[in-house]
Amino acid sequence: MEWIILFFIGLGLYLFFTLRVGKYKFWKLVGRNPEEAYRYFKNHPEAWMVLDTNQIKDISKHLRNKNPEYKEKWVGPYRLYVPSIGGDIQIYGKKDLYEKEQDKLISLFMDKEKEVLK
């Protein structure tokens, strides 16, 4: 009986973290290619809000307080360490766009990895 309860707790935690952080494959590729992902996020502000350490305190405060201007439009934060800036960034995805952008970036990274393997 206990193993059934533990199984469902484990399944619930797995689903919670998997769904909360978006597509696992996407974040795995972003983690392997942080510089390219950072540039992509910065070049697509219609879908991504990127905050460096100086901006995090200002914007995150509004998001944590559930400011409708931000909370209704953005999902996140997701964290990423970017070596070129020597620190973490926070990434927010625009609710109606970020999933399509994730698919585009997955395709770009997959094509890049296929080129390297040739």
Q: What is the mean pLDDT of residues 75-104?
A: 88
Q: Can you give the pLDDT at residue 66?
A: 60
Q: Can you give the pLDDT at residue 76?
A: 79
User: Contact, 63 vs 77, CB < 8 A?
Assistant: yes
Quick: pLDDT tens for 19-46. Answer: 554 577 788 888 889 999 999 999 999 9
pTM above 0.85, yes or no: no
Mean pLDDT of all residues belonging to the chain: 79
pLDDT at 62 over 80: no
The domain segmentation of the chain, as residue ranges, is 22-117
What element of type H or E holds 82? strand 74-82
